[in-house]
Chain A
């Protein structure tokens, strides 16, 4: 019976759209990305935890984080290493720019094929787009089964995996052979925190671009000395893609128009929190049969 699994976790660095402040939009009405902190996509953390639990149970298993994005997205890979991942790959290239979900999935599937894992675990969806498409599309590109909305991996052996799915009005338990793609729901177990010893061990982990930017730094020096501190950085050429399926060209969907949100102004009555004013409002609502 197989006791070691090779796991790839898909992770995305996203702007924190949940905490959009007043300065999130520029006076010109465009999105002010600088005002939004970049974070580890929340459900990808649930996915990482699911992978780390497999590693806990089957020592010798490896967890590799695969992310696509600009150089600074190496931060999520380091974060994952602080929490227990063995290492990671950052897919980064101008050729990927402008990718919609399909072109993104294609690039990720090329990288995944090269990594040849037993399974891919991803968050259900990313908070900047909420599309929930990439996991399923990567599965299709690889020709693997997909199990979405996973809440808990109940059982695993070399033949397959038993997974509890959380649906809107209930649960489903399914069995799938390996390899497969699992997408994990936010209702799954939270990710373990960063571990102090792992932070000490991996704080100098860098992608080559980061090391080259500050060649004299201690981090660059450490990275040059130790293999385990090197986060892989792959450009498009590294994953041998069909160039017509990458980036803007490989994206069937195009953005025709972006509009800023303009609220239709209503004539609004403003009340203060006093018994009198609230009483008057309730009386009015009862008289107009809006209430009662």
Chain B
């Protein structure tokens, strides 16, 4: 039952994060007339959302087995901090030279780094164990 709930939690949050990411990407690239598809496309957004949510769910599962439900609060803090730290990777990321306006890439990628943790925490109360 625990594993089933956590898997469902990961699945729902991954879907929400992916939807948010794809919509944000479309709005952003349309607004600025950008072409970042070679480094950040819809498939990549869905894959990254699924991976991040699966990772967080795995942490939840292991944490629950180890310390019970009280560990979730600390795990949420860790997930949020990791999301913040991950934006350093975006700032240092080097795009291929043929892509124009690389200064606009962080504006696209940084918010997306928060979507998985945001959706995971938002739906979290619906999956209390």
> Are A and B genuine complex partners?
no
Interface residues of A (CB under 8 A from B): none
Listed in ascending order, the chain B residues whose CB lies under 8 Å from chain A are none
